[in-house]
Structure 1
Amino acid sequence: MSHTKFSPSITKELGYYVYLYTDPRDGQTFYVGKGKGNRAFAHLDEDSEHEKVKIIHEIREAGLEPQIEVLVHGLEEEASLRVEAAVIDLLGKDKLTNKVGGYRSSSHGRMTLEQLRAIYEKEEVTVTDPAILIRISKLFRHNMSPAELYDATRHAWPVGDRANQIKYALAVYDGIVREVYEVSTWLEAGSTFLNKKPSGGRGVEKRKEFVGRVAAEEIRKKYLYKSVSNYFKKGQQFPFTYVGLAE
């Protein structure tokens, strides 16, 4: 039996499925995919700069082959997309070579109960402190680390002199506050250490980033997981807005 092709009788029964690529050298899964037919074998002959391809080459140079497993099969396409995304969330995208988090993972993926309640309850809050509300829509993931969330929120924005009045910065995704930071100061963008520079194409010219810390618990409880969507005008594209500052 070929190890790079399913027989017609198997493909007939498989339907859509979710598959895993595991490194036999350490037993670590390094890629999660979904497909039908012989999709699970497609990466073995892939010629690209993708990280999974590099790992496959390293495995073969060691005289081995990647272990391919079908995690679940007999699915409709929609279900396979959701299972793939759930597995990526569970294993952690930072531990895989997958470039994206999976189907609708930012809105329906792994999250805490507080995050889930925030999505569907959408309790509005009035911001009574001098603050900047920063939307991080392109960068946000529910399972991102505290350091990733901090860097995505603080770097890098075209703020003016009014930013010096700001006491708190609220990280906002989908209209919901995801974290609250107490701002110490604003500096030239790129002048401070970033755990991992956020992707998304933000330049740093004429932009600033703040340095601060997670706000006191009483402030976090006041705003965290509450809706501030009413502070952004319908159709507003600009990623941040000031609240409670002197004119």
Structure 2
Amino acid sequence: MGKLTKNQKLVLSKIEVGRMYTFKEASVVIKEITTTMFDASVDMDVRLGIDPRKANQMIRGVVSLPHGLGKRVRVLALVTPDQEGFARNAGADYVGLNEYIEKIKNGWTDVDVIIAHPSVMGRVGILGKILGPRGLMPNPKSGTVANDVSTAVKEVKQGKIDFRVDKGGIVHTSIGRISFTPEQICDNAKEFMATLLKVRPAVVRGIYIKSVYLSSTMSPSLRVDSKSVDGD
């Protein structure tokens, strides 16, 4: 292991080894230990006491963060011509159908979220092998297949995110930017945790939230006490 730089030593000096922080405390410290010259992403990793191989324990959901993500979310709306105006007015960056289906077939996936009207899913279904692995395939469970495309686009633009557990039983998500105030980071983190608790499968027994970590781009992680979601 190479020698730590002066900056790295300073960052580590601000972290109490073995300490479990409250959400409020971690939201303050994460800003103090982030030294990037850009507006770093603030991320959460939550290890769950579930078996993701079982269909009745597959965690997936959506949450609207009270302070948004702090970044531009590029949205593609796949709709019929009569719905294009509504999607554009709602803020969709790309709107259309056949031309975007062809672009995606040819490898274009330069978007963050794809929202589709149910009536076009028959044509969108052929893109599953391309969009699925990238987490871009429209899905009713995540709210990205919607009759009201206009509302769906607005919600995504305002900070609605889709999350799902990975094969290791961990949910990873971004909850904002380091330029947020500690209060904004804390609010978003607590809202995400509250939503995770709501989608707990009834079949899960024992410890559901095993561990929670807060980090930012290129920063060390802070362990957070999941019980502090109801307090400071």
Say which structure is richer in helix. Answer: 2
Pair in the same fold by TM > 0.5:
no
What range is the shorter-chain TM-score in? under 0.3
